């Protein structure tokens, strides 16, 4: 039995940092999509196939006994499959899963589109299908993503890749599940865990674009630095302001009110700039280019590099912005708002060809 899957990437619209401190993130699911194909096996082997490389091991109720230590490129998928097996608590049938690579920027840089989030979402659903398991793939993916990062992260990127459109998301408390994820109680605790605080917001009506600064940033390092600088009171004030501006931005995007969008996005960028090291010269250059074409932008994500999301008054202004960015050697693209995780009628023949 075989199934094909796909999942979108993600970009923060609003709520960076605030979501870590109890606030709301607004995160868009965007193209291009990443695909996966999962195929059941007749043995108890688990096989993960990436372009040009593979990882394999034997399934056990406590996870996968990998033939070798998973390399960095397999880290998130391997942790996800381990947790699915622990949640299910049974052996067999085995399965093989092949995942297409996430898009990269110049020089092989990550674009900040949520490659690890996509990977855990696809791996969780692929394993759930292969094992015919009744489990909440979103909760599992949130736990796996956090566990693979030592308990860090908000999970907003995972929620967007799973649910699609734009999500309004409040951080899911994974610690109670992380505390038991290495025990036999994990499956029951996962099933009884509270629902994820997530709301899908379809129908954004303002053209959007994304531009990459050419420099990747470490989200973990950025968060640690910001939290070192900002005390509890400062975090609370930031979060209240971010939530209010996020509501205004969402409303403008749904009403196609570019004036409201421009004001809210500008103020969100100013708010993020108060955090200090999130704004770089590369970010400032991109934002200035956006303004020169009548568009408005802000950092999308932790900052310190990565990219900016832009809202444009119309499709013509977006095309002009993209032309201007590309003429200066900037990696930029129009954004399509995508559905979330879904099954596909046909799998990618290239991925299926990786199976032995």
Would you list the domain boundaries of the chain?
Answer: 2-201+346-352, 208-334
Most confident range (mean pLDDT) of 49-53, 311-315, 349-353 is 311-315
- At residue 1, the pLDDT reads 82
Tell whether the model's pLDDT for residue 110 goes beyond 80. Answer: no
Average the pLDDT over 11-33 and give the result: 96
Give the other-Cβ count within 10 Å of 256's Cβ: 15
- Segment 46-74 shows an average pLDDT of 93
With 90 as the cut, is the pLDDT of residue 215 above it? no
* pLDDT confidence tier of residue 112, bands split at 50, 70 and 90: confident
- Look at residue 148 in the predicted model and tell me its pLDDT: 93
Across the chain, what does the average pLDDT equal?
92
- In CATH terms, 208-334 corresponds, of 3.30.70.890, 3.90.1150.10, 3.40.50.12280, 3.30.465.10, to 3.30.70.890
What is the pLDDT, as a whole number, of residue 122?
98
- Condensed to tens digits (0 to 9), the pLDDT of residues 116-146 reads 999 999 999 999 999 999 999 999 999 999 9
pLDDT for the residue numbered 319: 98
Identify the pLDDT of residue 106.
Answer: 67
Q: What is the pLDDT of residues 250-307, one digit of tens each?
A: 999 999 999 999 999 999 999 999 998 888 888 999 999 999 999 999 999 877 667 8
pLDDT class of 107 with cuts at 50, 70, 90: low
Domain 2-201+346-352 has CATH 3.90.1150.10: no
State yes or no: pLDDT of 108 exceeds 70: no
Q: Residue 217: pLDDT above 70? A: no
Q: What is the pLDDT of residue 109?
A: 65
């Amino acid at each position: 039995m075989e199934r094909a899957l796909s999942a979108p990437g993600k970009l923060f619209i609003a709520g960076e940092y605030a979501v870590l401190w109890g606030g709301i993130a607004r995160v868009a699911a965007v193209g291009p999509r990443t695909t996966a194909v999962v195929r059941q096996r007749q043995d108890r082997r688990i096989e993960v196939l990436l372009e040009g490389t593979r990882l394999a091991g034997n399934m056990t109720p406590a996870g996968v006994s990998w033939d070798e230590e998973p390399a960095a490129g397999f880290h998130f998928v391997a942790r996800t499959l381990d947790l699915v097996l622990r949640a299910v608590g049974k052996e067999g049938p085995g399965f093989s899963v092949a995942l297409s690579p996430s898009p990269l920027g110049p020089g092989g840089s990550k674009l900040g589109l949520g490659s690890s989030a996509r990977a855990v979402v696809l791996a969780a659903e692929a394993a759930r299908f292969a094992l015919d398991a009744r489990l909440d793939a979103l909760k599992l993916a949130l736990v796996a993503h956090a566990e693979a990062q030592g308990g860090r992260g908000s999970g907003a990127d995972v929620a967007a890749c799973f649910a699609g459109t734009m999500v309004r998301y409040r951080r899911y408390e994974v610690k109670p599940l992380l505390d038991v994820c290495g025990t036999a109680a994990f499956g029951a605790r996962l099933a009884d865990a509270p629902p994820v605080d997530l709301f899908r917001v379809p129908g954004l009506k303002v053209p959007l674009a994304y531009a990459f600064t050419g420099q990747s940033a470490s989200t973990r390092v950025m968060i640690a630095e910001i939290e070192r600088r900002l005390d509890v009171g400062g975090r609370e004030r930031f979060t209240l302001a971010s939530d209010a501006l996020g509501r205004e931005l969402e409303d403008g995007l749904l009403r196609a009110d570019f004036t409201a969008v421009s004001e809210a996005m500008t103020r969100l960028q100013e708010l993020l700039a108060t955090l200090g090291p999130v704004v770089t010269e590369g970010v400032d250059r991109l934002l200035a280019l956006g303004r020169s074409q009548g568009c408005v932008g802000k950092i999308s994500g932790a900052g310190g590099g990565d990219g900016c999301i832009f809202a444009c008054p119309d499709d013509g202004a977006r095309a002009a912005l993209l032309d201007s960015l590309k003429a200066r050697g900037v990696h930029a693209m129009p954004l399509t708002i995508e559905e979330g995780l879904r099954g596909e009628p046909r799998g990618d023949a290239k991925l299926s060809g990786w199976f032995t």
